[in-house]
Amino acid sequence: MENFQSHTDSGNDVMSYDGFRQEVLKDYRIAVESREVSLLGRREVLTGKAKFGIFGDGKEIAQVAMAKFFKPGDFRAGYYRDQTFMFATGLATVEQFFSQLYADPDVKNDPFSAGRQMNSHFATPFVDEQGDWLDLADRMNITSDIAPTAGQMPRALGLAFASKVFRASGPTDEFAHLSDNGNEICFCTIGDASTSEGHFWESINAAGVMQVPLAVFVWDNGYGISVPVKYQTTKGSISTALRGFQKTELTNGINIYRVKGWDYAGMCEVFETALHEMRETHVPAIFHVEEMTQPQGHSTSGSHERYKSTERLAWEKEWDCIRKMRQWMIANGLAAEDELTEIEYASKQAVKQSKVKAWQKYMEPIAKQVNTAVDLLSQVEAEDEELHEIIRTLTADLKNNHEPMRRDVLRAMSKALLIAPTSPSVEQVMDYYEKLKQENRELYNSHLYNEGPRSALNVAEEAALIPYNAPTVNGYEILNRYFDELFKNDPRVFAFGEDVGQIGDVNQGFSGLQEKYGTNRIFDTGIRELTIVGQGIGLALRGLRPITEIQYLDYLLFGLEPLSDDVATLHYRTKGQQSCPIIIRTRGHRLEGIWHSGSPMSMIIGALRGMYVCVPRNMVQAAGMYNTLLQANDPAIVIECLNGYRLKEKLPSNLLSYTVPLGIPEIIREGADITMVSYGSTLRVVEESAESLAQLGVGCEVIDVQTLLPFDIHKSIVESVKKTNRVVFIDEDVPGGAAAYMYNEVLEKQGGYRWIDVAARTITAKAHRTSYGSDGDYFGKPNAEDIIEIVLEMMRE
């Protein structure tokens, strides 16, 4: 223990004995408090005050040890059992923990998620109310937790990778508030059973290849819910299974450490030395924390007595980490029995008081709503003799509800409005009812996207300037010149993916740019879409602007989980306190073969609500969308047309400043007989069809939606339908996919059904994947002949 120091108190000086003793006692107190939180939290769930509970009991000592070496600038990407770590770092209080357990929607009470996440899903603010990045280099940073097992791994890799990027960039004023020369570590926690997930293995492999400061703490209690580790992991040990990853002097790789979850002194010693080395070398590490216990079982949904033997339960009681730390302190003369008993009693009382305060704060605004609603309903009751008894019962039920919820207030008022619609006081009831609905929309339905100055919808439009003598070049050359200008002027931007660096991507958008701007800014990755997305997430969370390439749209599936579960929900689940302005660049639509011609747009718009989905028809339009997105904080996917890179386009003179507004369709051909709605590559087929139909006397109005998310925010497409009274939606997705989505948006949400004279149509690809070859493309995707035939049929009706 001679080398044990606390970064919180001792700096670089060896701590005095008394200082060391007090530090140990403080850690013990935090551990005891956290255990009491777990015990009382479970009780709150079982009594119905909380919906569900999952706790960190059994991990307390390992987490107070880990927290000692978490420094300002560091990041944590963890999972839902890290409450002790949060208490030990001072980033969470017990009261805040219970506020989240109760789902308190007041962000002042639950500052992690405003009641939107289950307990133990923590976060700290990364951006201010204006959307500007905070001084992340000078604060401890917690990325918002997600529940999918191992889902934190890709993000953790990216956060650690950002430190490497910052270090390679060198100290600059531009990044001073984001990083201290890349000295930051990403602390990642994961349960042992979750190391069986592919996310874990891909992330560890990538970390070992890239050599990034990723510290992975594996909490190993021998089970994955009820399944023993021998059924989870080769050789029954993740550290043993990973031995081939061990770094040597002549290879890259990771460092592997094994510690005992009850050994406070041993863990402090190993963590201190290993993490200090990691800050200097950026070599990643696995800390396999073994022999942990889980005193209350996996969660409140079941009992671990069902699957653990009597002998195992007895062992867990004997080797409980708090019990072992208590024995260690007494044996080493650091504390007396009565002193520890006093700490334990005081800790338990403090937790109870915090729990009560959290419940009171949660109930206070609801009680006020109940009182107001009861007063209003009592007035209705007094005025309406015929319905007196019914309203009185309704009012009494609300008033006598000892633990009401916001929904109970709204339900009571809604019933009263239905029962007594002509009461003289019904207008006051309606006003309060509508007021509460608006308040609750803000509490529960806001912030899916950025709503402040950094919203992509607030970016000013600037049209592309095309001089009369503008050169006509290939589409990929438009992008190449655009990216050249972008990287010259914006040091925040980085681009990477499979084949992006050396060869400049498969379609030459980055051709020659790696040589010009360096391998730190434009670079290749392995074939591993999941962690390519993870790299982008980490860079974006740390204030950079990654353009993260997925080579073909068909391969987005590999990276879809972190985009759907993590990126798309981030702004919502933190109520705007964290943003992830990642841009996923990919290409798709028409080409050749089952896995290079995909247009799975319905999958994307269904899974990625919370991201913007841009579907440019050409590369000038794509560049304008990139400009728009780079001025905002919202995440997005830009899907370039595979068959558009060699089509000729006029080169704009304002490449770096023109913008394409999101959610604003563009009429690219005017007509009076039928409205044709599409996007992307399909528009060229639609335009070909419209030209042929014009020769037959049919005037087609062709509309490019430009973005699917958001979709026509000003409801302009319906204005075209009012003129033509016919509408057809055309795309390359499967039947019932994105075309049906557009159909729903225009006919239902915009009320377009009122203006059509004949049944609207959707023209889509076939349900199967597209067959190989040009004929496969013709018979599998919408073709001009099919479109003409269906439009003529509609004109005859």
What is the spatial distance between Cα 752 and Cα 747, in angstroms, rounded to a whole number?
A: 4
What is the spatial distance between Cα 421 and Cα 431, in angstroms, rounded to a whole number?
A: 13
Q: Return the pLDDT at 13.
A: 46
Cβ atoms of 654 and 680 closer than 8 Å:
no
Q: Return the pLDDT at 6.
A: 40
Q: Phi and psi (nearest 5°) for 716?
A: -90, -25
Task: Name, in order, each residue with C-beta under 8 angstroms of 75's C-beta and a sequence gap of 6 or more.
Answer: 141, 142, 143, 159, 184, 185, 186, 187, 541, 542
Q: Which amino acid is at 339?
A: E
Two structure tokens written together for 14: 């060896």
What is the spatial distance between Cα 762 and Cα 742, in angstroms, rounded to a whole number?
A: 9
What is the spatial distance between Cα 487 and Cα 514, in angstroms, rounded to a whole number?
A: 10
What is the spatial distance between Cα 786 and Cα 797, in angstroms, rounded to a whole number?
A: 17
Two structure tokens written together for 339: 């002193």
Beta 223-224 vs 227-228: how paired, if at all? antiparallel
User: Read out DSSP for 204-248?
Assistant: HHHHHHHT--EEEEEE--SEETTEEGGGTSGGG-HHHHTGGGB--
Q: Return the pLDDT at 14.
A: 52
C-alpha distance from residue 159 to each of 67, 408, 591, 624 (Å): 18, 43, 35, 29
Two structure tokens written together for 692: 């042929």
- Catalytic residue (one of 571, 596, 714, 768): 596
What is the spatial distance between Cα 493 and Cα 488, in angstroms, rounded to a whole number?
A: 10
What is the spatial distance between Cα 730 and Cα 397, in angstroms, rounded to a whole number?
A: 53
- β-bridge partners, 524: 497
Beta 75-77 vs 186-191: how paired, if at all? parallel
Q: Which residues of 110-126 are buried (b: 16+ CB within 10 A; e: fewer)?
A: bbbbbbbbbbbbbbbbb
End-to-end CA distance of the chain: 88
| Beta-carbon count within 10 A of 211 CB | 18
Q: Return the pLDDT at 3.
A: 35
What is the DSSP code (8-state) at residue 679?
-
* Residues making up the chain, counted from first to last: 797
What is the spatial distance between Cα 521 and Cα 494, in angstroms, rounded to a whole number?
A: 5
What is the spatial distance between Cα 282 and Cα 56, in angstroms, rounded to a whole number?
A: 29
What is the spatial distance between Cα 582 and Cα 572, in angstroms, rounded to a whole number?
A: 16
How many angstroms from the chain centroid is the CA of residue 109?
22
- β-bridge partners, 523: 496
- What residue has token string 């209350």? 296
Handedness of CA 543, 548, 554, 557 (dihedral sign): negative
What is the spatial distance between Cα 224 and Cα 151, in angstroms, rounded to a whole number?
A: 16
What is the spatial distance between Cα 85 and Cα 400, in angstroms, rounded to a whole number?
A: 40
Q: What is the CB-side half-sphere exposure of residue 183 using CA atoms within 13 A?
A: 12
Cβ atoms of 525 and 551 closer than 8 Å:
no
What is the spatial distance between Cα 590 and Cα 439, in angstroms, rounded to a whole number?
A: 46
Q: Return the pLDDT at 558.
A: 95
Beta 285-290 vs 636-641: how paired, if at all? unpaired
Q: Which amino acid is at 498?
A: E
Known active-site residue 596? yes
- The rounded average pLDDT for each run of 10 residues, N- to C-terminus, in the chain (797 residues) is 38 70 97 97 92 92 98 96 97 98 97 96 97 97 96 98 96 93 97 95 98 97 84 93 96 97 97 97 98 82 78 91 97 96 97 98 97 94 81 93 95 93 91 97 97 95 95 97 97 97 94 96 96 98 98 94 98 97 92 79 96 97 98 97 93 97 97 97 96 97 98 97 98 95 97 96 94 89 96 95
What is the spatial distance between Cα 760 and Cα 115, in angstroms, rounded to a whole number?
A: 43
By C-alpha distance, which of 662, 493, 455 is closest to 571?
455
The sheet carrying 186-191 orders its strands as 141-142, 75-77, 186-191, 214-219, 285-290, 255-260
What is the spatial distance between Cα 615 and Cα 710, in angstroms, rounded to a whole number?
A: 11
What is the spatial distance between Cα 221 and Cα 235, in angstroms, rounded to a whole number?
A: 16
Q: Return the pLDDT at 5.
A: 36
The DSSP element (H or E) to which 473 belongs, if any, is strand 472-474
Q: Return the pLDDT at 9.
A: 44
Q: Return the pLDDT at 662.
A: 98
- β-bridge partners, 214: 186
Phi-psi region of 497 (alpha: psi -120 to 50; beta: other; left: phi over 0): left
What is the spatial distance between Cα 403 and Cα 362, in angstroms, rounded to a whole number?
A: 10
| Bond from prior residue into 562 cis (ω within 30 degrees of 0) | no
Two structure tokens written together for 218: 């594996």
Task: Name, in order, each residue with C-beta under 8 angstroms of 191's C-beta and a sequence gap of 6 or more.
Answer: 79, 81, 149, 218, 219, 221, 224
